[in-house]
Structure 1
Amino acid sequence: MRYLMTTGQNSRQPDEALFAEMGAFIEEMTAAGILIATGGLEPGGVKVTSEGDEITVTDGPFVEAKEEILGFALVEVSSHEEALEVSRRFRRIVGDGDSILHRVMGP
């Protein structure tokens, strides 16, 4: 099963210790074959809307800065519980904040 975890603002400020902990976590998840992809997201984004034959492109941001999605991880795990545990471990590293976990449907 694949899950996409997105994350926004975190309470822990980036420093060398955070980078070291996150690096070790990423290496562990990659070596275990769990982590497929991870990355930061550009603030704001672009919204593409279709209505009939008309396509509209609107520059962001679209939400309050505290709600903006800043990064993601795509993981492949054997169960929903394992995806939750990966998310819990991530939250323990980065501190207070929100992550949203979605199961990716399909092959």
Structure 2
Amino acid sequence: MPRYMSLIRVDENNAPEGGPSPELMQRMGVLLEEMTKAGVMLDTGGLLPTAEGTRVRWEGGKISVTDGPFTETKEVIGGYALLQCKDRAEAVEWTTRFLKVHEDHWTVTVELREIVAG
């Protein structure tokens, strides 16, 4: 079965103060448990804010290292999920369910990409 990387993008500047609500975390836990039992969820995790990150770039034959925060970036990867689904439609269905557990004041975009087999 194909595997998909779900890159969860959030706007760090407009994320709710204090992060996710307890109710959101409860709904998320229920969904993640269902996905795990269905054999779809292989791994998932959240990422610390960009203020605690580092970018390492290769350009023109040289390495540059930049510590966060990355002020020029509006939307950042806030988390990920590694899914194993029968096809893209199933991966989109699970991703849609993931997005719908969020309250209306959240703005979340998920980039869903199939992992190259091999």
Local SS of the residue matching 1:94: coil
**Pairwise CA distance, 1:93:** 0.5
Identity of aligned residues (%): 35
Could you tell me which residue of structure 1 aligns to residue 111 of structure 2?
100
RMSD of the TM alignment (CA)? 2.2
- Structure 2: unaligned runs, 5 residues or longer: none
Aligned residue runs from structure 1 range 61-72, under 5 A: 61=70, 62-64=72-74, 67-72=75-80
Q: How far is 1:25 from its partner?
A: 0.6
Partner of 1:46: 54
TM (norm. structure 1) is 0.83
Which residue of structure 1 aligns with residue 96 of structure 2? Answer: 88
Corresponding residue of 2:27: 21
Query: Is 2:9–2:78's contact at 8 Å kept on the other side of the alignment?
Result: yes
Q: Which runs of 4+ in 1 moved over 6 A?
A: 10-13
Normalising by structure 2, report the TM-score: 0.76
Following superposition, the deviation at residue 76 of structure 1 comes to 0.6
Equivalence for 2:4: 3
Query: What is the aligned residue count?
Result: 105
